[in-house]
Amino acid sequence: MATFVMLGKYSPEALTQISAERTEKFVKTITDLGGTVRGMYATLGNVDLVLVVDLPGVEQAAKASVLVSKDTGIHFSTHPAIAVKDFDQLMG
């Protein structure tokens, strides 16, 4: 499993559709792709949402990003993430 950080920005339409059901649908999309949701955060500033997910690979991450954007109207940029201790070891 690989970890990905999904940064989301609401469209005006997406703001009107905020709901627990939409959040549950996001979690189902991730699990249907073989992944798990590690954390979901609403934030202030240039990014509205920070989602941390584990997925089998980059193909599933790309599919998740596109599917969720299509379903919700939220623009996502999705980034692979490496734990700092693992990164330090990799670079060491």
**Domain extent listing, the chain:** 2-83
- 76 CB contacts (<8 Å, ≥6 apart)? 6, 7, 8, 9, 65, 68, 69
Looking at residue 61, its pLDDT comes to 97
pTM, 2 dp = 0.92
Compute the mean pLDDT over every residue in the chain, rounded to the nearest whole number: 96
Whose tokens are 């993430």? That residue is 81
Looking at residue 75, its pLDDT comes to 95
Q: What is the DSSP string of 34-49?
A: T-EEEEEEE-SSS-SE
The helix/strand/coil state of 87 is helix
Mean pLDDT across the stretch 23-44?
97
Mean pLDDT across the stretch 25-30?
96
Third-level CATH fold of 2-83: Alpha-Beta Plaits (3.30.70)
Mean pLDDT across the stretch 45-57?
97
Looking at residue 38, its pLDDT comes to 98
Looking at residue 58, its pLDDT comes to 96
